A and B are shown apart, each in its own frame.
Chain A
Amino acid sequence: MAIFSVYVVNKAGGLIYQLDHYAPRADTEKTFSFPLDLVLRPHDERVVVAFGQRDGIRVGHAVLAINGAEVNGRFTADGKDVLEFLGNPANYPVSIRFGRHRLSSNEKLMLASMFHSLFAIGSQLSPEVGSSGIEMLETDTFKLHCFQTLTGIKFMVLADPRQTGIDALLRKIYEIYSDFALKNPFYSLEMPIRCELFDQNLKLALEVAEKAGSFGPGS
């Protein structure tokens, strides 16, 4: 039972707080011999699987480590280009770890603003007047819950689909925000939240919510 992350977005759509509480790391490490039966290609700053999905390695997974050493973007730990390294039969057999790459803070900023825009579109398209906007986005691996306050701040929580009590958690996060961010003389409105007490209390609240969550298989 887990709460994956918390995002707080301000009135203008900018991300002001982000916390990764639990990241389900589904990495797969396998040993390969030449030739590699996966097709890899460069994408942004990473080397990504383009074709050849098998055994837990999905399309879109990035190369995370080669022979145990973490790769640095498109280069191995020693500075060699990953694709060149893997194209040379002399380097085999090689053990490669694939997995979903962690989002960089820039990407998180962009995604938060995108969600802000979708939220606005959603509430305008709604046939009802005074729509509350997108409250929940459900997929088969996670649920994204969103709560917009009267002042336009959005609190988003990504959690396991079986986790209950997220509504209460969103209200609690709102309370914590109004206590430790708004009553802090050193916090300016709409700016990134950098308050120790806010972090501490938020983590406590997440732990309480996780423990009280529903009991499902594999918790």
Chain B
Amino acid sequence: RSELSLAAFALLFSELVQYCQRRVASVAELQARLAQLGHHVGLRALDALVARERPGRRETKVLGVLLFVKGPLWRALFGREADKLEQANDDDRTFYVIEREPLVNTFVSVPRENSSLNCAAFAAGLLEAVLGASGFPARVSAHWHKGTTLMIKFDEAVIARDKSLEGR
């Protein structure tokens, strides 16, 4: 486990965003591109992390995998745990991972014209890949809410399976 200079990552991430920006025409497309790149990172990070942190065990419950994401995954990637993990009041498929200041946005000042852009879309793609590869397919999106909120919407099948597991 080694540490990386924040400056090095920030410069690389800044170049990543600029690279995507040159090839897209809208904010939504840019967020989609960032999510795609995050996807690649997520797939690779998951294997290495599970092998180190939970050797021989696999998360089968939704709550289990979410706590794994909030704690060990965030700590390994960003050096600190996510601030909050919440469930939506009205929907049992939707969960929120909330961070006041995500690491990837540390040096990013979004100009007023594109103020809906949140570069944490990269983290959203990462999370989507991690959940998908762990057997919990979901859609993850980034929003400006209480800082940055990653909204996780699990597939119906996942929730149904989780409920039947609890019943057992």
Q: Give residues in A with beta carbon < 8 Å to B.
A: 179-180, 182-187, 194-198
**Can you offer 17 A-B residue contacts whose CB atoms are under 8 A?**
A179-B7, A179-B10, A179-B107, A180-B107, A182-B14, A183-B7, A183-B11, A183-B14, A184-B108, A185-B15, A185-B17, A185-B18, A186-B108, A186-B114, A196-B109, A197-B108, A197-B109
CB of B111 within 8 A of CB of A194, answer yes
Please report the C-alpha to C-alpha distance between residue A197 and residue B119 in the assembled complex, in whole angstroms.
Answer: 15
Residues of A within 8 A of B21 (CB): 185
Interface centre among A180, A186, A195 (most CB of B within 10 A): A186
CB of A185 within 8 A of CB of B14, answer yes
Can you list, as one digit per residue, whether each of B4-26 has a CB less than 8 Å from chain A (1) or not (0)? 00010011011111100100000
Interface centre among B7, B15, B107, B110 (most CB of A within 10 A): B107
Interface size class, chain B = 10 to 19
Please report the C-alpha to C-alpha distance between residue A195 and residue B110 in the assembled complex, in whole angstroms.
Answer: 8
Q: Which of B7, B16, B109, B114 contacts A184 (CB 8 A)?
A: B109
Q: Smallest CB–CB gap between B96 and chain A, Å?
A: 25
Q: Smallest CB–CB gap between A202 and chain B, Å?
A: 12
Q: Smallest CB–CB gap between B154 and chain A, Å?
A: 31
Majority SS at the chain A contact face: loop
Query: Which residue of chain A is the closest to B19 with respect to CB atoms?
Result: A185
Q: Give residues in B with beta carbon < 8 Å to A.
A: 7, 10-11, 13-18, 21, 106-111, 114, 119
Query: Which residue of chain B is the closest to A195 with respect to CB atoms?
Result: B109
CB of A183 within 8 A of CB of B110, answer no
CB of B111 within 8 A of CB of A197, answer no
Closest 7 CB pairs of A and B: A185-B17, A183-B107, A195-B109, A183-B10, A185-B14, A196-B109, A197-B109
Please report the C-alpha to C-alpha distance between residue A198 and residue B21 in the assembled complex, in whole angstroms.
Answer: 22
Please report the C-alpha to C-alpha distance between residue A195 and residue B7 in the assembled complex, in whole angstroms.
Answer: 18
Q: Smallest CB–CB gap between B27 and chain A, Å?
A: 12
CB of A186 within 8 A of CB of B109, answer yes
CB of B119 within 8 A of CB of A185, answer yes
Q: Smallest CB–CB gap between A182 and chain B, Å?
A: 8
Please report the C-alpha to C-alpha distance between residue A205 and residue B31 in the assembled complex, in whole angstroms.
Answer: 33
Please report the C-alpha to C-alpha distance between residue A179 and residue B8 in the assembled complex, in whole angstroms.
Answer: 11
Please report the C-alpha to C-alpha distance between residue A187 and residue B15 in the assembled complex, in whole angstroms.
Answer: 11
Residues of B within 8 A of A186 (CB): 17, 108-111, 114
Interface centre among B13, B21, B110 (most CB of A within 10 A): B110
Please report the C-alpha to C-alpha distance between residue A198 and residue B109 in the assembled complex, in whole angstroms.
Answer: 8
Please report the C-alpha to C-alpha distance between residue A194 and residue B110 in the assembled complex, in whole angstroms.
Answer: 10
Please report the C-alpha to C-alpha distance between residue A182 and residue B108 in the assembled complex, in whole angstroms.
Answer: 10
Q: Smallest CB–CB gap between A205 and chain B, Å?
A: 16
Residues of A within 8 A of B10 (CB): 179, 183
Known: A184-B107, A186-B108. 12 other contacts (CB 8 A): A179-B7, A179-B10, A179-B107, A183-B11, A184-B109, A185-B16, A185-B17, A185-B108, A185-B119, A194-B111, A195-B109, A196-B109
Residues of A within 8 A of B11 (CB): 182-183
Q: Smallest CB–CB gap between A217 and chain B, Å?
A: 40
Residues of A within 8 A of B107 (CB): 179-180, 183-184, 197
Q: Smallest CB–CB gap between B73 and chain A, Å?
A: 24
Residues of B within 8 A of A187 (CB): 109
Q: Smallest CB–CB gap between A59 and chain B, Å?
A: 43
Q: Smallest CB–CB gap between B87 and chain A, Å?
A: 32
Please report the C-alpha to C-alpha distance between residue A144 and residue B18 in the assembled complex, in whole angstroms.
Answer: 36
Please report the C-alpha to C-alpha distance between residue A187 and residue B52 in the assembled complex, in whole angstroms.
Answer: 39
Q: Smallest CB–CB gap between B35 and chain A, Å?
A: 16
Residues of B within 8 A of A184 (CB): 14, 107-109
